Structure 1
């Protein structure tokens, strides 16, 4: 059976799709180009309105394939599936499986039953009380990405209930994975040649704080994974400022392979807006975390998420956000206009910010961020960096081959080398130019 996966949204969805592809291939299925597939799998996101609308558009396009091939069917999973549920069956008759975020562990078996004609339609939408452990789908024969990078889920769901966020309703309450299972998967990936691991969770800092019986903190888990032989780089995302422990901050100065980068969502720089958002920290707490992170690791690269136009946000509130962005000096940020998501507390909050004003604020914020990013990257010119190569650059020019990779802090670095095979290697370079969102380097030593 040939399948094609279309993924929307966050890194957790990317990881889920990669796991699902490996699990199906282990059962003899074949991943194929879109026009060759019989089974289409959409892994969806509902954090904002636009990705949700893309799902409906994509299903409308897939419907044309269904008319040409009666064997073809589709499965819809992820957050939109958890929200919309069986309504997909009514709206799109060729959708035969709907699986939620806790249902992915049973999705390969459900797809096999559907492909064999054993069932007509299946829904996997129940939330579990504990982390739904999956088949490993990684062994000595598994082919992993040539980049030698991998994601590992350490938890599922969230207990924070921020006013604007749909995640607790689409991914359920927080469930930490057993630490031994996490470490075992990380060891298997390292044994297969993975050099860079990213630990994933809606709020990794609260790992072990739920009622699942896990008596290991995130800081302890981080140290266990960092000690695995072969792991040259270790990252994690996403962090909630209210839960980051002193031991995690200290780890940045103590673990050589813990990358000097942290995505720490601030969301707003105004205490009044943060309180309305139910973020459970204020800017004094946030800035203290930032200062201690920089004491532990002076070269740490901080990035963030920001929402403008949250209900009740005044011009003064927004200007406070601009001040805090400049004070912290985020190297980059993901910024968005607030949009109502059905089922969240903020839907009923007033007053709403005029959309034109919200757009203006977003543009002002992004203009400031672009200036800070430019200055941050410019400071790196002349400095050495080690680049884990992810593949050839999109733009090839001049002699040799142009390669694209990331330094330890996650910045994109392009450089030229005559070697024909560098993907997955770490190459020493010197930064010679700063672009708008990337760096250019020149090779200074042998790859390893």
Structure 2
């Protein structure tokens, strides 16, 4: 996803080892040293190895004080990590817009630069550290520029950030966004840190600043109570708390009136949502009643929290799409227990059976981790067997990456980097073959595509998503209207994309149809 107002940087499926992080820090240290020697670094910045801030960073720019007739300040946000972080960036932009800041597309244009960061895997942190070296050069040329780190990485490595990066003006965790504009306007002489977790903060009253589009991501809960042994999320995002249903429904109604046709409910364990006596299934049923909304999705549910009521909603609510992302992580009961996942392989397979029973057209995706501490060849083979049995439409596959502060990080790693890579490649190869076969089954069939816009890599082609969240690219002489449903006959497919052409009838004035996207 690329926005004209903020950039994103996302982690890939293949993650390196810890020496890469050290390399990123080393490169950043050299960049700072080079600027100091050239005389272009701000005099208040000292080398990362000197653990003191001689005078802090007194950032006072009187030309930006918000008085009548004075130019508004400009903010640039760069986002790393998951869709939850992208939703948080929209929340931050809404907060800054409320405080009379204007978002800009490039860091060179900004008075304030924010990196909204991810800590879920080491690779995401490496990318941020490397990017800080580039942004430091902007700071060196413009000492009045305010540079800050927000989000999960800020929460996870806050002390090291300020010790190694004294030019950073503020480090703010996911529960402290409200205070950011005030902090920036106070012109504090020293770097500011606020990573206090808040068990009540949901930002329910704040209005995210979204660009016009077809799909809106709506955060309905924050935090996680599961404490899987490999996962840092409960430590950086806190405990579970849900946005009141009235706020959620009001936001979705406004989005539908604004032209959004699909909403995706977000939460670390989205199906654990509860607002008093209101559960996730109730929220889904109420959302299904909203006029002008065509499709409802949600991510990511936890297998242990998938209730019969939610299955019933999936079966009976016509706007809920037949697509479920259901993270399994491993196909071995022994590893699932070590991960503290809260379910067995048998229970997971039973849930898959129930999902396909209530929605025979459902598409399933998953997450898989290989190389977890203690994973033996038999455990890995069990994961491959589960993948063959379930036949996921899509999978996100990772090497295990220890996160400091988690229980699993205290355990010795028993799988070598080379073996991790071998296992990762094996699951990727298997999933590619399965995905190709599943997509081939759509060839010759007609699918309803919610049009998102022109295809990026094919001139004259358009793209969108099917109800099963499959990308579909189709040619059309006259561009269809974004946000409409187009019937497309699939002519070919690969592992990731369906390709086709619109279906016309003699009475069709356009290649669009009404309907619910089911």
TM-score, reference length from structure 2: 0.81
Mean alpha-carbon deviation: is it higher for 172-181 or for 417-426?
A: 417-426
Corresponding residue for 2:369? 307
Contact 1:105–1:135 (Cα < 8 Å) also in 2: no
Measured after TM superposition, the shift of residue 393 of structure 1 is: 1.1
Deviation string 1:74-109 (CA, Å, 9 cap, x unpaired) is 121111101122543343333222211111233344
Establish whether residue 78 from structure 1 lines up as the match of residue 151 from structure 2.
Answer: yes
After superposition, the C-alpha distances for 1:299-335 in whole angstroms (9 at most, x for unaligned) are 1000000000111111111111001001001011000
Contact 2:204 2:244 in 1 (8 A): no
State whether structure 2 residue 234 is matched by structure 1 residue 128: no
From 94, 101, 107, the counterpart of 2:180? 107
Question: Contact 2:335–2:375 at 8 Å: present in 1 too?
Answer: yes
Note the C-alpha offset of 1:290. Answer: 0.3
Structure 1: segments with no counterpart, 5+ residues? none
Give the Å deviation of 1:355: 1.4
Change (3 A) 1:410 1:169: same
**Could you tell me which residue of structure 2 aligns to residue 366 of structure 1?**
428
Of stretches 102-111 and 378-387 in structure 1, the one that deviates more from structure 2 is: 102-111
1:320-356 CA distance string (max 9 Å, x none)? 1001001001011000011111011111224521111
Contiguous gaps of at least 5 residues in structure 2: 1-72, 505-510, 514-518
Q: Which residue of 2 aligns with 1:88?
A: 161
Alignment of 1:257-272 (within 5 A): 257-272=319-334
1:192 paired to 2:258: yes
Closer/same/farther in 2, CA of residues 421 and 443 from structure 1, 3 Å limit: closer
Q: Does structure 2 conserve the Cα–Cα contact (< 8 Å) formed by 1:86 and 1:123?
A: no
Residues 27-55 of structure 1: CA distance to partner in whole angstroms, max 9, x if unpaired?
Answer: 33222223222211111111110001111
Tell whether 2:294 aligns with 1:229.
no
Contact 2:224/2:234 (<8 A) preserved: yes
Counterpart of 1:181 (choices 247, 257, 266) is 247
- Equivalent residue for 2:449, pick from 377, 387, 392: 387
Separation (CA, whole Å) in 2 of partners of 1:433 and 1:308:
32
Q: How far apart, in 1, do the equivalents of 2:182 and 2:307 lie? A: 39
For residues 166 and 260 of structure 1, the distance between their equivalents in structure 2, rounded to whole angstroms, comes to: 30
The alpha-carbon distance between structure 1 residues 173 and 236, as it changes in their structure 2 partners (threshold 3 A), is same
SS in 1 for 2:180: helix
Q: Does 1:408 align with 2:487?
A: no
Residue number in structure 1 paired with 2:508: none
Correspondence 1:41 to 2:114: yes
In our comparison, the structure showing a higher alpha carbon Rg is: 2
Q: Measure, in 2, the Cα distance between the counterparts of 1:127 and 1:256.
A: 38
Pick closer, same or farther for the CA change 1:427–1:67 going to 2, 3 Å.
Answer: same
User: Which residue is 2:512 aligned to?
Assistant: 447
Contact 1:388–1:424 (CA under 8 A) maintained in structure 2 = yes
Q: TM-score, normalised by structure 1?
A: 0.93
Secondary structure at the aligned position of 1:81 is classed as helix
Cα distance, 1:193–1:30 mapped onto 2, change above 3 Å: same
Runs of 4+ in 1 over 4 A off after TM superposition: none
**What displacement does 1:428 show?**
1.6
Q: Secondary structure at the match of 1:95?
A: coil
SS at match of 1:74: strand
Aligned equivalent of 1:160, options 217, 226, 232: 226
SS at 1:169 equivalent: helix
- The question of whether the paired residues in 2 share the 8 Å contact of 1:131 and 1:176 is answered with no
The residue number in structure 2 matching 1:422 is 481
Q: Deviations over 1:186-217 (max 9, x none)?
A: 11211211110000111012112xxxx72211
Root-mean-square deviation over aligned CA pairs: 1.7
Deviation at 1:231, TM superposition (A): 1.4
Deviation at 1:118? Answer: 6.2
Q: Aligned to 2:95, which of 23, 28, 44?
A: 23
Of 159, 167, 172, the residue aligned with 2:238 is 172
Distance 1:41 1:418 in 2: 42
Structure-1 separation of matches of 2:484 and 2:233? 36
* Aligned position for 1:10: 82
- C-alpha distance in 2 between matches for 1:355 and 1:262: 31
Aligned length: 434
Whole-Å separation in 2 of the counterparts to 1:86 and 1:323: 43
